[in-house]
Amino acid sequence: MNDPFRVCFVCTGNICRSPMAESVFRARIDEAGLDRLVEVDSAGTGGWHVGDGADPRTVSVLLANGYESTHSARQFSADWFARLDLVIALDAGHLRDLRRLAPTPADAAKVRLLRSYDPTAVDLDVPDPYYGGTDGFEECLELVEAASPGLLAAVQEALTERGAA
């Protein structure tokens, strides 16, 4: 069997936006029957929350919308680029930080903004809901869900090019 296609979502601390995106996209992968071909995970650019679960507001919004919420925060490491196919940044700051961290130009090209997969998006950042209320987490979920079909289509296309799907 071919190596799985690996997607990693990255935000700041890996407790709000990226675990939410990971849960939503894993559900889309499962629904598409691609769970044996695609691995989905997440990480943060910083290490402040390593080992922590997702923010309780993230968990609450995910559960209320039928998503799983098992999570343990991790910090992204440059050596991960070698095994990842796509690194999905949640905002322009993460995009810049990740591309700077990339060991090669090919690795930097693996980094994309999540909302770039949403054809209706005007602002490509997913705002950080951490310092606000539950409504910010609900908005985050809406933005993640809106970008997921486009990202799924891109992953399916990449799998087809690989001859894996």
Mean pLDDT within 82-99: 98
Half-sphere exposure for 72 (CA within 13 Å, toward CB): 1
Which domains does the chain show, CATH number per domain? Answer: 5-162 (3.40.50.2300)
Determine the pLDDT at residue 164.
67
pLDDT in tens, 61-87: 999 999 988 999 999 999 999 999 999
Mean pLDDT within 17-42: 97
Average pLDDT value for the chain: 96
pLDDT band at 138 (very low <50, low <70, confident <90, very high): very high
pLDDT in tens, 98-114: 999 999 999 999 999 99
Helices first, then strands: H and E counts in the chain? 5, 4
Sequence-separated contacts (24+) of 162-165 with Cβ below 8 Å: 162/2, 162/5, 163/2, 164/2, 164/5, 164/37, 165/34, 165/37
Supply the residues annotated as catalytic: 11, 17, 128
Residue 1: pLDDT over 80: no
Mean pLDDT within 123-134: 96
Strand partners, 44: 11, 75
Distance of CA 108 to the CA centre of its chain: 16
Its pTM surpasses 0.95:
yes
105, 138 Cβ separation under 8 angstroms = no
